[in-house]
């Protein structure tokens, strides 16, 4: 009987030691409703780095480099380990699919990419400049979702282009500047590739941040 009691005591001690100590990590909820933000986590087994090339980059069309620095809330300190997810239309203004997509790729299409910042906070996407939706006057844009460690994914202002003929004064005034200014000037580099520079400030104009 004494041996049984001793054995039970040992088992209880082992189980207690196996339990996680301290409080579990909680994910801070910010940004409000975000339909499709789950897509940010759909990179599967891909190893995220500060640079990504979207599938259409070598197809015909105007080549585009989207780059910048992601800063912490002070707007000065580079933010590491931040995931940024972009998706956009093709040269005909639609979100193309291969018809075998799963998850949010059924709606976002396959022209999407992910980066994860390093200590410098820098990021770069290589892609083609998207076209506007057909048969309407919505400016061409890139959708963007961001996720910091221990914070839920939230959307920031779309990437828009300052010279877009559909970017009206009313449209400019509607921008919330979530994460900072999303209306960008395009410049061509020495290789004739359009370059759009956008710095992002985490939490800027994000509800509940």
Residue with tokens 């409080």: 23
User: Please, how many CA atoms are within 13 Å of residue 69, restricted to the half-sphere of its CB?
Assistant: 11
| 196 domain-assigned | yes
Per-residue pLDDT, 24: 57
Residues 6+ apart with CB under 8 A from 34: 145, 152, 153, 154, 155
Per-residue pLDDT, 26: 85
Total domain count for the chain? 1
Torsion angle, CA of 55/58/63/65, rounded to 10 degrees?
A: 50
Averaged pLDDT, groups of 10, the chain, 209 residues long: 45 41 73 96 97 96 98 98 98 97 97 98 98 96 97 98 97 97 97 97 97
| 7 domain-assigned | no
- CATH code where residue 128 lies: 2.60.130.10
Domain membership of residue 149 as a residue range: 30-201
Distance CA 31, CA 9 (A): 49
- Tokens representing 43? 């990179």
């Amino acid at each position: 009987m004494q041996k049984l009691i001793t054995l039970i005591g040992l088992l209880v001690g082992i189980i207690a030691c196996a339990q996680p100590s301290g409080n579990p990590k909680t994910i801070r909820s910010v940004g409000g409703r975000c339909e499709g933000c789950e897509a940010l986590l759909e990179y599967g087994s891909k190893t995220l780095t500060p640079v990504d090339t979207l599938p259409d980059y070598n197809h015909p069309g105007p080549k585009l480099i989207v780059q910048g620095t992601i800063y912490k809330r002070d707007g000065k300190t580079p933010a590491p380990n931040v995931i940024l997810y972009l998706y956009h239309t093709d040269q005909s203004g639609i979100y193309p699919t291969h018809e075998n997509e799963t998850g949010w790729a059924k709606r976002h299409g396959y022209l999407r990419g992910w980066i994860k910042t390093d200590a410098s906070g820098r990021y770069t996407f290589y892609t083609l400049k998207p076209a506007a939706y057909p048969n309407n006057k919505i400016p061409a844009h890139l959708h963007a979702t961001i996720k910091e460690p221990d914070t839920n994914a939230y959307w920031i202002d779309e990437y828009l282009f300052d010279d877009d003929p559909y970017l009206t004064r009313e449209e400019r005034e509607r921008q919330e500047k979530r994460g900072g200014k999303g209306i960008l000037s395009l410049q061509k580099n020495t290789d004739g590739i359009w370059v759009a520079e956008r710095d992002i400030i985490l939490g800027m104009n994000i509800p509940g941040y």
